Chain A
Amino acid sequence: MTEIKEIINGCLKGNRRDQELLYRRHAAKLYAVCLQYSGNDEEARDILQEGFIKVFENLVNYKHEGSFEGWMRRIMVNTALEKYRSKHLLHRVDDIDQIPEPDAEPDNEDYAGLQAVDLMMIIRDLPPKYRMVFNLFAIEGYSHKEIGSMMNITEGTSKSNLSRARVILQRRVNAFTGLGRKVLNG
C-alpha cells in the first residue's frame, strides 16, 4: 500500500496523527489555490478551512483514481465557487453589454522576470467575476458552458469576462515588467 493510501486509511479510522499529516503535506499548495481564488487573506483562509473539512468528510468517497492532490484541489475550487456565489451572484446577472472593449492591444512581452508571487498578486487584484472566470477557464480548464452553469451566467458572459480578464492581466503584467526594466535601467 502506498504511503498516501495508508494516511487516507488512517484518516478514515479517525487517526488524528494521519489527519494532521495529510493537512500539513498539502496545506501550503492548497492555500496557494485558495489565495488565487480570493481577494483577501481572510477569505482564502476560510476557503482552506471549509475545503479541508469537506476533504475529510468526503474522504470515504475518494476512489484512489487519479491524483489525490487534484481531487483535493477540485474541492477547494468548488468551495471557492460556493463562496463566490453566495457573495456575488444572488441572482442571474447578464452584464455582457457593460463590458467595455479592450482599449489597448496587449504587447507580446518577455515575462522572464515575473515571479510566482508577482503573478499571484496580479491575479488577486482582478475583480472577482473576472478572476473566477479566468481561473476556471485558463487554470482549471473548464469550458465556457461549464463555467456558465457553475457561476450562473451565460456562456457569452463567461467569454466576455474571460476576455476582459485577459486584457487586464496583460496590461498589469506589461506594467509590472516595464516597471521592472525601468528600475533596473534607471
Chain B
Amino acid sequence: MDNKDANIDLLFRNGLKDYEVLPPADVWDNISPAVTRNNRPYMILRAAAMIALLVTIGLLTSTWNSELAENSFQDTGTGGSIMQSAPAQPADVQLLADASGRDARKRLQPLQPASGSEAAGMTAVIAQSASIPEILTAGEAAEVEENTDRYRQIVPASTANQELNLTYFPYTVEKESFTREDTRKWSVAALVSPTYMSSFSSPANEAAKALGSAEQPVVSYAGGVAFAYRVSKRLSVQSGLYYSSYGNQISGISTFGGFRNYDQVKGNSNFEIQTTNGRVATNNADVYLIDNISDTRLATFFDKNSFDPVKASLQYLDNSLMQSLGYLELPLIVRYKVIDRAFDFNIIGGLSSNLLINNSVYTSAGGDRYEIGKTEGLNELLFSSSFGMGMEYNLGRNLSVNLEPTFRYFLNPLNSLGISNTHPYTFGIFSGLSYKF
C-alpha cells in the first residue's frame, strides 16, 4: 500500500472515529419489546409457579377442612368415646361398679348433660350393661334404674331412636349444637389485598387509543378494617374503611434528572403529559422528559432536537412514569352465607364511595422515587359497585381466616376531563383475619 492509499484510509478512519449521530427516537421502542419478550419464559415460569402455589393452597385447605370435620367427629365429647368403646368393652361399667358402688353411681349420675350426644352415649352404655342389677345391691340397682329413667326422659325421643345408628349419632348432634349456640352478632376483620386495576374504556379517537396502548396497569394494593353485623343466620351487613391504591405505568417516556441547571423558565410546569386518565403537569423543575413513542403525548417548551440530555450529562432515571392514585373507601356490603360449615362460603355484593386522597406521578430509579407531578381534573369522589366471594375458615370459636376474591367496577369515570371515558374496574383477593363477638 502506497502513501496515497494510506492517507485516504487514515483520513476516513480518524475522521469518523469519534463521530456520533443520535438515532431516531423510536428505534429503542422497537428494540425494547423484543428484549422484553426474551424474558417472557421467566414470566411464564413465575405465573406457573403462582398457579401451582394457589392450587397447592386450595388442596391443602380442602384437606384441612376434611381433617377438621373428622376431628370434630372424634372430639364430639365423652358421649362419642363412651359410645364407641361401649360395644367392645361392656366391662367398663363393671369396672366402675367393682371399685365402688358409690363411685359407679357418681359416674352414672351426671344429670346435667352438656349435650345430647353425651346423654346418648351414657344411654348406650347403660343399655348394653345388662349385668348392672347383678353386681349392685338391690337398693343401688333401683337407684341406678331411677337415674337411668330420668336420663332417658332428658334424651329426646329422636335421639333415643338413634341408639341403633350409633356411628352417625354424635356427629349430627354436635353439628346442631354448634350452630345453635352461635349467638355472636358482630365481627371485625382486617384485610389486605393485591389489586389490579384496568378499565372498560371507550376511546374517543385514534389518539386516545394510541395513549392507551402505551399504558399498562400495575398490581397495587388495598387494605383496611371491616365491621360486619349479622342480621340473620345467613345475612350480614358490612362496612369499614379501606385504603386502595392503583397504579398505571406510562411507558416510552424517559426521565432525566439534573435539568434544573438548564431550566431558564420560571413558574409554569416544563412538561405536560397526556394520559388516558387525564393531563399530568410536571411540578419538578429538575426533570427532563423525552417521549420515545409519539410526538403528541408530551407538550413542552424544549425542543428535543436542540437539547440532548445525554450530551448534557443529565442523570438517566427511567423510561416510564408511574401514575399513582389512592382512595379512601367506605363500603356498604351485604354478605350472604351460602355454605355454613367449618369452611364458610359467602356471596358478597355492595356499593362503595371512594374519596381521592393521593394523586401523584413519579418515576423510580435505584430505589429512589422522583416526583414528576399530578394528574389534573380527577374526580374527587367515585362510586363503585363490588361483587365477590368470601371464603371463611374457622380457626376457633371466635377467629377465622378470610379469603375474598372481589371484583369492583367504578360507576363514574376517574376523570371527567379525560379524553377517553374511562370506567375502571379492579380485581383483588382480600385476605385477613376476622374476630366474632
Contacts and interface: CB of A to CB of B under 8 A. Distances in A.
Instruction: Tell me if chain B binds chain A.
Output: yes
Interface of A: 14, 16-17, 19-21, 23-25, 27-29, 31-32, 35-36, 45, 48-49, 52-53, 56-57, 106, 108, 111, 114-117, 119-120, 123, 134, 137-139, 166, 169-170, 173
Contact of A28 (B22, B319, B365): B22
B20 A53 contact: no
B319 A119 contact: no
A104 B263 CA distance: 56
B21 A20 contact: no
Given A116-B15, A138-B9, A170 B23 contact: no
Contacts of B9: 137-139, 166
- Interface residue tally of chain B, by bracket? 35 or more
Give me the 3 closest cross-chain CB pairs, A-B, nearest first: A138-B9, A28-B20, A31-B23
A134 B11 CA distance: 12
B7 interface: yes
Contacts of A21: 316
21 contacts: A14-B38, A16-B36, A16-B318, A21-B316, A27-B23, A31-B20, A31-B21, A31-B22, A32-B20, A35-B21, A45-B23, A49-B30, A108-B3, A111-B11, A119-B19, A120-B16, A138-B12, A139-B9, A139-B16, A166-B9, A170-B8
Contact of B27 (A19, A35, A48, A117): A48
B88 interface: no
B32 interface: yes
Contacts of A24: 28, 254, 310, 316
B16 A32 contact: yes
Interface of B: 3-5, 7-9, 11-13, 15-16, 18-24, 27-28, 30-32, 34-36, 38-39, 42, 254, 310, 316, 318-320, 365
B258 to A, nearest CB: 15
A106 B8 contact: yes
A57 to B, nearest CB: 7
A132 B15 CA distance: 17
B32 A28 contact: no
Contacts of B19: 32, 116-117, 119-120
A27 B32 CA distance: 13
Contacts of A134: 12
Nearest to B319: A20
B8 A45 contact: no
A27 B311 CA distance: 12
Contacts of A170: 4, 8
A173 B11 contact: yes
A39 to B, nearest CB: 15
